[in-house]
Structure 1
């Protein structure tokens, strides 16, 4: 029987802008939706296209500080430039613009709705394109993120007595989500990302394993520059997949950022749609109720390709490898020449690859020593294996 799926999307996304010079472009959502539409993915039987509701203040208060929310609302209503660096508002990364609060509530509301759909409405998978704001902290905006939608949704799932695995494959470490559940053994957070040694947000090392009851439930695989498809799949296969399978959560939440791709302007990884698709297929095979959210990605065509592939995988649809001609014409007018949806497996240059391989093998060894005895040992024992 095909999975029951929901794509959460709003035409209101187009009402907002971080500014012409900001790397985050709202157009990414419109472009992804358009590519899905041209492939016929917005009219699939058993797949619903649902509007994106706004999160309420009560929703936000399950994680965020009330004084921070008040300042966010205040700045959102102002026409003149505003800044409050205590709350991370008004700097280059986190600009203040009219309607900011409404924009943030829109993305957060979509992820909360996705969580509701898989726990209350019988959906197997729900995908919120405008989610994935994994850098937002309780009382501070960070990394283009104002409200942490994943934390809000996971808190709602925890209130239902459910255990959650959170997987983050964005190029940037999911620091805000890790921080929120660092001392919890009911949430397993796994992040595969570019190393924080030289890269924002400067966190996400193997030594960050959780504290108290949460020791062993925070897992990080930092990849050094030029890690390619094979190394990305290795990190997933040898760390993320076995830990998630052993933990056997009630709900899987994934952040599906596309800024890991080799042509992204802000990152130095060399991932392609080849390994991205591989990971998505293995996640779907777990048959765990799945809440998926968007995330990073600063090459607009990469984002559209990645999330179209994700939605295709979620619905069991094999897509042609070439982009539809009308879509090629659209992106050509934007200065892009890509004609392919799917990439062949990419290998980095030999010297770069050897350095990246050494680094990922050291990370995996450290995780196997510190994390595996806790997660694999505990849940294998609980299942009687």
Structure 2
């Protein structure tokens, strides 16, 4: 497929990976990780006629062989047994299962393997040329480890997908994670691999799970210099967050020159999110996919795979933020002004909060942050230190 230049993206073919089966990844009715947000997002897109049924591709289940690209067979076996109620509690806890964060639920292996398979479906859509961009909002479970569940994540779909991209398509992958929580599972999976570059912009681990993602986590061995972390300060606002994101993403893409870009789009940096301490608004969720789209065209002939991630205000934040990714991918200008009245009236009956009426947040949605100049300055220094290896050794070859 010929590479488009500038803003000539109108003919980009896009695939949206979805089926209601993805809602079966459900820990409990009161757990903060709630895939009902997928249904709310899809309904919002349908209410503005932004989803052509031909663009919707159902996810497949990842095979065990695919899961073992990253996960230990004994762990996969434990997940299967747990989902059948056949794993003793003592053994379950060794695998991070049956904890407060990652409770056991029926058929958890099948539900988790479907999330992974959805991301692999997105990969195949893009890498075989069926689509230039693909979005799988059910994925983005970036805390899962080789042999352990962590942070609401049982299997790590992004890690499996990156390994799959390497083995099946021989691709150099740039993984960009904008979840408020550090993308630790993905980073450690490829920490010594120079053909995978990871960039995570997240709230500092001083206050937030998983406590990792410091600027000095740069990779090891042959992978040293291919892991980038920008831990922003608590209460960071749009302007400071976007400055770090835009500069880091551009510099890292130019340094690494990937074959494909995989973005993880956790929507939990928003001021309303109940689990984090950042002060971003919908402004960042407009800009995040815009830059990913632009850089995918600049470096990868347009190849861009996007997944979901965190996002715990499932009513006011996630549907708008995630819908904007698809609207950017498809160059659809309808994500401005009022939200569709029929979407608001339908879901307001169920929502425990007042739903927003507009795509954008009001300008003064919270009291001004008292330490704004200090936070901004701190984030600038963090960005500078994080990008130092690139800035101090500019590469001579042309883009």
Per the alignment, residue 160 of structure 2 pairs with 152
Quote the offset at 1:78 in angstroms.
1.7
| 1:297 alignment partner, one of 299, 311, 314 | 311
Structure 2: 5+ residue stretches without partners: 1-9
**Distance (whole Å) between structure 1 residues aligned to residue 146 and residue 65 of structure 2:** 14
Is 1:39 the counterpart of 2:33? The answer is no
Per the alignment, residue 314 of structure 1 pairs with 329
Per the alignment, residue 263 of structure 1 pairs with 272
**Distance (whole Å) between structure 2 residues aligned to residue 144 and residue 266 of structure 1:** 13
**Distance (whole Å) between structure 1 residues aligned to residue 93 and residue 397 of structure 2:** 47
**Distance (whole Å) between structure 2 residues aligned to residue 245 and residue 357 of structure 1:** 25
Tell me, yes or no, if the aligned pair for 1:190 and 1:219 is still in contact at 8 Å.
yes
Tell me, yes or no, if the aligned pair for 2:13 and 2:130 is still in contact at 8 Å.
yes
**Distance (whole Å) between structure 1 residues aligned to residue 67 and residue 229 of structure 2:** 27
Say which SS state the counterpart of residue 120 (structure 2) adopts: helix
Range that drifts further, 65-74 or 331-340 = 331-340
Is 1:343 the counterpart of 2:343? The answer is no
Is 1:143 the counterpart of 2:146? The answer is no
**Distance (whole Å) between structure 2 residues aligned to residue 27 and residue 97 of structure 1:** 16
Tell me, yes or no, if the aligned pair for 1:219 and 1:371 is still in contact at 8 Å.
no
**Distance (whole Å) between structure 2 residues aligned to residue 329 and residue 140 of structure 1:** 41
Tell me, yes or no, if the aligned pair for 1:262 and 1:272 is still in contact at 8 Å.
yes
Quote the offset at 1:26 in angstroms.
2.0
**Distance (whole Å) between structure 1 residues aligned to residue 29 and residue 130 of structure 2:** 41
Tell me, yes or no, if the aligned pair for 1:243 and 1:372 is still in contact at 8 Å.
no
Per the alignment, residue 329 of structure 1 pairs with 345
**Distance (whole Å) between structure 2 residues aligned to residue 15 and residue 111 of structure 1:** 16
**Distance (whole Å) between structure 2 residues aligned to residue 35 and residue 348 of structure 1:** 29
State TM-score, norm by structure 1.
Answer: 0.94
**Distance (whole Å) between structure 2 residues aligned to residue 177 and residue 15 of structure 1:** 24
Say which SS state the counterpart of residue 34 (structure 2) adopts: coil
Say which SS state the counterpart of residue 240 (structure 1) adopts: helix
| 1:173 alignment partner, one of 179, 182, 189 | 182
Range that drifts further, 247-256 or 358-367 = 358-367
**Distance (whole Å) between structure 1 residues aligned to residue 265 and residue 139 of structure 2:** 9
- CA-to-aligned-CA distance 1:5-26 (integer Å, 9 cap, x gap): 0000011123442112211112
Per the alignment, residue 382 of structure 1 pairs with 397
State TM-score, norm by structure 2.
Answer: 0.90
**Distance (whole Å) between structure 1 residues aligned to residue 212 and residue 327 of structure 2:** 32
Query: How many residues align structurally?
Result: 378
Is 1:226 the counterpart of 2:239? The answer is no
Tell me, yes or no, if the aligned pair for 2:177 and 2:199 is still in contact at 8 Å.
yes
Superposed CA RMSD = 1.8
Quote the offset at 1:340 in angstroms.
1.5
Tell me, yes or no, if the aligned pair for 1:81 and 1:96 is still in contact at 8 Å.
no
Structure 1: 5+ residue stretches without partners: none
Tell me, yes or no, if the aligned pair for 1:274 and 1:344 is still in contact at 8 Å.
no
- CA-to-aligned-CA distance 1:269-328 (integer Å, 9 cap, x gap): 111111221121121112130010000000112111111111001100112321111111
**Distance (whole Å) between structure 1 residues aligned to residue 367 and residue 242 of structure 2:** 14
Per the alignment, residue 253 of structure 1 pairs with 262
- CA-to-aligned-CA distance 1:60-99 (integer Å, 9 cap, x gap): 0111001101000001112899462211000000010001
**Distance (whole Å) between structure 2 residues aligned to residue 209 and residue 345 of structure 1:** 37
| 2:78 alignment partner, one of 34, 57, 71 | 71
Tell me, yes or no, if the aligned pair for 1:226 and 1:348 is still in contact at 8 Å.
no
Per the alignment, residue 241 of structure 1 pairs with 250
| 1:53 alignment partner, one of 60, 82, 86 | 60
Is 1:108 the counterpart of 2:116? The answer is yes
Say which SS state the counterpart of residue 174 (structure 2) adopts: strand
Quote the offset at 1:330 in angstroms.
2.6
**Distance (whole Å) between structure 2 residues aligned to residue 24 and residue 103 of structure 1:** 14
Tell me, yes or no, if the aligned pair for 1:227 and 1:348 is still in contact at 8 Å.
no
**Distance (whole Å) between structure 1 residues aligned to residue 207 and residue 17 of structure 2:** 35
Quote the offset at 1:348 in angstroms.
7.2
**Distance (whole Å) between structure 2 residues aligned to residue 136 and residue 106 of structure 1:** 15
